[in-house]
Structure 1
Amino acid sequence: MLILVRNPVPKLRSCFKKARLLSAGARLCARFGFEEIALSLVERALGEEPHRVELHLQAGELSFKLGRMDRAVEHVRHLWPGSRAERGVFDFEAGPLRGAAPAFFKERAWILAAIGSHLLGAHEPGRALSYINRAIAAGLTHSSVLNLKGLCLLRLGQTEEALKAFQDARAAGGRSAGLLVNMGIALNRLGRYAEALRCYEEAQRLGAGGVELFNNKGFSLFFLRRYDEATACFELAQAMEPQDTVRANLALCYFKTGRVGRAIQLLKELVEKNPEDPVLLNNLALCLEAAEKHHEALALYKKAAAIGGPERNTFLVNQAACLAGMGRFEEAQKIIERLEEVAPQDERVWSLKASIMAELGREGEAVDCYRRALGLTG
């Protein structure tokens, strides 16, 4: 008895032919700017020929141009041999891409940028930046790549350089709301709040309106002393998605606009969740002091100073001011003497000392301290 087996070659040839036609159609669509249609055609081609390297290259590049970084990275994975791709670990020095010549990387710089985006999402901004810089060096100066570079630098704390990258992205034709929000964040960190606010407002005109935008816009407004507008932004952000950071900012706005009771309520809830956060402790103490609850405030200032951190001197100044307000001048002076040693240029120390000297009737010393606070030491 003979068993007939179908010859698979004609079907394979048919699939290959169909994939080639779809790929050619995609190239034509992309040439005329119809990149969405082009990507859908290439993905249909991949359905016919899922292992063809050139189809993954084509689909990955289109995904990258459309800003779909995750999909671009998935196509890069298909180009990468072995288990490294499965683990999501990319390292071009470990070996060549399947069937790729050394000149490949210069010709396909978008792959470097896509991997940089992947690493940034994996919280490795240093490695991400190295790939993105190589993509730029290979000639890929698209606004989305420059924006990625700015995000890496922002995560690495290099704010000036990040702002420059965002500005370069803008000059390269970047007009997205996301880019404007990123520029605003960099400007906020540099203390350029009015410029940051303009970025957020332009992003809103482009349709942006998420929690990040309203929280950062509120931050700019707060430092521009437009507290009512800042409150409105934080309340809107909080209504969209309750977040501790937004609530902490909202509490400060309530404090600045005289709604001390609401500020205390919010901050107490946050401190209960984060009892070792010295900034929250300090801010709650400020509100309690404004509500004439000096003993509670003093205990929180002491705890904040004991925890320490980069703002420790601020907590100590506030603690000394609280003691002075309670008439405990000797204890306040001891703190000020310590601060004079560690922060002799801090004008807040000399202003507080001047106030205490004036309260004690030592006018000559008070005047000298005021001069020091103003930098008039000559």
Structure 2
Amino acid sequence: MWKKISAFQIIASLFEIAGADKPALHFLEKALRRQPDRTELHLQASRLFLRLGQIDRAALHCKKAAAGIGAGSFIYWLNRANNGGIKANLWEQESCYDAAEELEAIPEVSTEDKISQFNNSGLYLLENNRFQEALTCFQQALSLGGQDAAIFFNTGLALSKLGQHQEALEYYSQAQSLGFSPPELLNNKGYTLFYLQRYEEALSCYEVARQFLPHDLDLLSNLASCYHVLGKVEEAINCYRSAIATCPNDPTLHNNLGICLEKTNAPLEALEHYQQAVALAPQCSTFLLNCGHCLLSLGRLEEAFEMVTKLLELEPHNHQAWGLRGELLAEQGKMREAAECYGRALGLAG
């Protein structure tokens, strides 16, 4: 069926022909709001975002243009669409960018280079969890004319640490517009988008980053969480399995995999992972509670009682634990005792 071309699409195309990608994208997004199912609009958007360095947004629109396309496939398409691929990254050499977590001291710099001094001081403060002071340093570097992609990235990271995710997102995008889009930036941008509840965009960031860091634990965990929130349980399970293969002693990974496995009606395997989580972190109430509920669902009441008893010894006023104990007693037909437990769960008893 023929679809009418909107005025916004025409204006966007004229701006793109003139080489004005940002105004073109502005009008194209207006066209997409009116016609969100137009394949050619998504293809044009992916092309524009790629030229602006935002490969995650380009990937998102590529996927919308071709539903079901795999992450590896849209990376290939994006490279082809840009006639040679993503623009060269000026910060690829290790000496040009130091990750905050690897910085042990403020590097020596020329006393005349105030921009570098402020940036490196900010990295040092960031490493030591002094986020507000770090932000002040990065902002000072920018105010002195340090329109450098790495400084934009560092500023975004400090803002994200302070919970100012919308502002952080703007700085990450500015860094990308200068051709700086390493997987570390994509992972952090995805984290920010996740907290802004923009899950599809976060997912695109993580999926693109994974092409470059397939075994990175933090990235796999973030990607799994995003799949989980979006209801893509099988994909989440695969990510958690990959993460556990990299770090088998992380109790949170085992716990989260257990939750996903229960959703796919695999309670026995879920229980194995809950039990591993408890073994690795025996004082974590969340792990004990999840394990107890799983045991209850499997009808293993005695083991569930042991689990809830441990939990109540650690946290005598844990309302969820009292609720679980009530469920266990009700299963045994001990309704009076169960009622007392439910009362405690609801805060009605001491």
TM range (shorter): 0.5 to 0.7
Q: Distance in 2 between matches of 1:141 and 1:326?
A: 68
Aligned to 1:231: 237
Query: Is 1:214 aligned with 2:223?
Result: no
By relative contact order (CA 8 Å, sep 6+), the higher-ranking structure is 2
Aligned to 1:241: 247
Aligned to 2:142: 136
Contact 1:251–1:267, Cα closer than 8 Å, also in 2 = yes
Which of 252, 262, 268 in structure 1 is aligned with 2:259? 252
Aligned counterparts, 1:194-213, within 5 A = 194-205=200-211, 207-209=212-214, 210-213=216-219
Which of 194, 199, 213 in structure 2 is aligned with 1:193? 199
Aligned to 1:264: 271
Aligned to 2:97: 67
Q: Alpha carbons of 1:190 and 1:319: their partners in 2 closer, same or farther (altered >3 Å)?
A: farther
Q: Could you tell me how far 1:231 is from its partner in structure 2? A: 1.0
Q: Could you tell me how far 1:318 is from its partner in structure 2? A: 4.7
Aligned to 2:343: 334
Q: Distance in 1 between matches of 2:89 and 2:319?
A: 59
Which of 287, 304, 307 in structure 2 is aligned with 1:300? 307
Q: Alpha carbons of 1:316 and 1:199: their partners in 2 closer, same or farther (altered >3 Å)?
A: farther
Q: Could you tell me how far 1:183 is from its partner in structure 2? A: 1.6
Q: Alpha carbons of 1:146 and 1:305: their partners in 2 closer, same or farther (altered >3 Å)?
A: farther
Q: Could you tell me how far 1:319 is from its partner in structure 2? A: 4.8
Q: Could you tell me how far 1:146 is from its partner in structure 2? A: 2.5
Q: Alpha carbons of 1:242 and 1:154: their partners in 2 closer, same or farther (altered >3 Å)?
A: farther
Q: Could you tell me how far 1:301 is from its partner in structure 2? A: 4.1
**What 5-or-longer segments of structure 2 have no aligned partner?**
1-87
What percentage of aligned pairs have identical amino acids?
A: 26
Aligned to 1:169: 175
Which residue identity is paired with 2:213?
Answer: A
Contact 2:135–2:158, Cα closer than 8 Å, also in 1 = yes
Which residue identity is paired with 1:203?
Answer: A
**Secondary structure, in 3 states, of the residue corresponding to 2:344?**
helix
Q: Distance in 1 between matches of 2:328 and 2:158?
A: 42
Query: Is 1:278 aligned with 2:285?
Result: yes
Q: Distance in 2 between matches of 1:111 and 1:211?
A: 32
Which residue identity is paired with 1:335?
Answer: R
Contact 2:90–2:180, Cα closer than 8 Å, also in 1 = no
Q: Could you tell me how far 1:211 is from its partner in structure 2? A: 2.2
Give the TM-score normalised by the residue count of structure 2. Answer: 0.60
Q: Distance in 2 between matches of 1:155 and 1:199?
A: 18
Contact 1:159–1:190, Cα closer than 8 Å, also in 2 = yes
For the aligned residues, what is the CA RMSD?
A: 3.8
Which residue identity is paired with 2:287?
Answer: L
Q: Alpha carbons of 1:143 and 1:283: their partners in 2 closer, same or farther (altered >3 Å)?
A: farther
Q: Could you tell me how far 1:217 is from its partner in structure 2? A: 1.0
Q: Alpha carbons of 1:127 and 1:300: their partners in 2 closer, same or farther (altered >3 Å)?
A: farther
Give the TM-score normalised by the residue count of structure 1. Answer: 0.56
Contact 2:223–2:239, Cα closer than 8 Å, also in 1 = yes
Q: Alpha carbons of 1:290 and 1:169: their partners in 2 closer, same or farther (altered >3 Å)?
A: farther
| Paired residues, number | 256
Contact 1:112–1:132, Cα closer than 8 Å, also in 2 = yes
**What 5-or-longer segments of structure 1 have no aligned partner?**
1-32, 40-61, 80-97, 342-378
Query: Larger C-alpha radius of gyration, 1 or 2?
Result: 1
Q: Alpha carbons of 1:261 and 1:69: their partners in 2 closer, same or farther (altered >3 Å)?
A: closer
